[in-house]
Amino acid sequence: MYFLYSAALVLTFILATPYWLFKMLTGGKYRAGIAERLGRVPERVRSAQPGDVCVWIHAVSVGEVLAVSQLVNELRGAGEEKLRIVVSTTTTTGQNLARERFGAENVFYFPLDFGFCMRPYMRALRPKLVVMAETEFWPNFLRKAKRCGAKLAVVNARISDRSLPGYRRWRGILSRVLDNVDLFLAQSEEDKRRLIEIGAPRERVQVSGNLKFDVKPPAKLPIVEQLRAAIARSGGGPVIVAGSTVGSEDRAVLTMFSRLLGEFPNAVLILAPRRPERFDEVAAMAQAMSLRTWRRSVADLDTTAVSGGVLLLDSIGELGSLYQLGACAFVGGSLENSGGHNILEPAGFGVPVIVGPHTHNFRDIVGLFRRGDALIELPQGHPEQDAETLHAAVVSILSKQASDKLAHMNEVMRSQRGATARTAAALNRLLEEAQ
């Protein structure tokens, strides 16, 4: 099985080489970490204080890095003086955040799933415990780690609606891969059921909760106080934040806001499209609708009177902090069938949340809030109806008609915290077995 998998991987790699060579020549992010991905252990990692016990955590991108950040702190504070924790990522954005959080000497790009790429890391790090965040089931990696004597755990494990059918089809093979894992810590009972269904040994699967409920709110960036002062100076408010919007959602949000100004003439909209390549398009759309519009990249917030207008957040990494300014927040990717985005960012600041009907990427989180009557979900409708339903939802929050949602939201947040402590305790027990 592993031979056939490796052969298929080699073939895929060869066929994709021309594409990746082109991308590497035309885009710097595709060149990032190529040597590390091919098995070269960076000197900064190799020469760092080795420690007697190494834990290797793999977190694909920004979301996973944020989820495991508090877990790393819990493990480091468990009393093991010579514990070294290293973190690998797949994406460049995840790599940058991980280096900032854990130190560059402890962070590297995850190697390709070939034996010759994995071996140098196994020899250099000699991990006692390998931890994968969410659903990173790399067959060769899991087998190599197991053969090196490491205990293996999957934390914050979830099986999405989209990936479940594929896992089911390959259950016969996947069950052999998952047999390498010593412990699965699932986000929910449904994820536990799905893990067992696709081949995880029942006795090794537990529910520990979702680490993302324990993620601390983003650090307060300078723009938060700058914008707060600009809003106060111009008599602005209330503030509506629309984050990670895609496709037709930007037009719906802008149409909603244009109508809202008739009722709240000093309202401020912070609009953050999901993809940078759409910044120009959305700015032109707002101006065509005669909305006063400022772009974050060029606006002087010390002099700009933002009351009654739109601040287009054409920047990266600031949305999470700016949610705290909102009287309410619409989390995008949910009116369009994109699966939605993380509602915990605004909810963590106590900001009432509005989403569309398409939230399957965050099924369990949204389900908890739904069952707790702690958010507003817009119905399925045509794009031309979205602005109207979004407007009604925003007005219900601003006019205090939906004030109970906020109390329920805080109750849900309180009830779900503690997953990090439970996960750390389980990993420490596994680490004791490995020594």
Q: Confidence class of residue 79 from pLDDT cuts 50, 70 and 90?
A: low
Tell me which H or E stretch contains 395.
helix 383-398
303-329 pLDDT tens trace: 888 899 999 999 888 999 999 999 999
Q: CB of 286 within 8 A of CB of 423?
A: no
**What was the pLDDT predicted at 32?**
77
Provide the mean pLDDT of the chain. 88
Tell me which H or E stretch contains 131.
strand 129-133
Helix (H, G, I), strand (E, B) or coil at 242: strand
Q: What percent of the chain has pLDDT over 90?
A: 58
Q: Which CATH superfamily is domain 222-416 in?
A: Glycogen Phosphorylase B; (3.40.50.2000)
Taking the CA of residue 44 as centre, how many other CA atoms within 13 Å lie in the half-sphere pointing to its CB? 10
Neighbours of 413 (CB within 10 A): 18
Backbone angles phi, psi at 326, to 5 degrees: -80, 145
Q: Confidence class of residue 256 from pLDDT cuts 50, 70 and 90?
A: very high
Tokens 């949910």 belong to residue: 334
Write out the two tokens for 275: 């993809």
Which residues, including other chains, have CB under 8 Å from residue 321's CB and lie 6 or more apart? 217, 218, 219, 220, 221, 223, 224
**What was the pLDDT predicted at 34?**
86
> Which strands form 268-273's sheet, in the order they lie side by side?
293-295, 310-312, 268-273, 239-245, 328-331, 353-355, 376-377
> Which strands form 151-157's sheet, in the order they lie side by side?
107-109, 83-89, 53-58, 129-133, 151-157, 183-186, 205-207
Stretch 214-232: mean pLDDT:
87
263 part of the active site? no
Q: What angle do CA 402, 404, 405 make, to 5 degrees?
A: 75
Neighbours of 62 (CB within 10 A): 18
Stretch 212-239: mean pLDDT:
88
Return the percent helix, strand and coil in the chain, to nearest 5. Answer: 50, 15, 35
Stretch 72-79: mean pLDDT:
80
Q: Which of 36, 43, 64, 345 is catalytic?
A: 64
Identical fold for domains 37-209+418-434 and 222-416, yes or no, is yes
**What was the pLDDT predicted at 5?**
55
Q: Confidence class of residue 194 from pLDDT cuts 50, 70 and 90?
A: very high
386-431 pLDDT tens trace: 999 999 999 999 998 877 888 888 888 888 889 999 999 999 999 8
For residues 344 and 361, give the distance between their C-alpha atoms in angstroms, rounded to a whole number: 13
**In the chain, what are the domain boundaries?**
37-209+418-434, 222-416
Residue 266 scores a pLDDT above 90: yes
**What was the pLDDT predicted at 239?**
96
- From the list 330, 344, 340, 377, the residue with the least C-alpha distance to 362 is 340
For residues 409 and 186, give the distance between their C-alpha atoms in angstroms, rounded to a whole number: 23
Write out the two tokens for 183: 């412990």
Tell me which H or E stretch contains 66.
helix 62-76
Q: Confidence class of residue 57 from pLDDT cuts 50, 70 and 90?
A: very high
The lowest-confidence range among 97-101, 103-107, 194-198, 362-366 is: 362-366
Query: Check: CATH 3.90.245.10 for 37-209+418-434?
Result: no
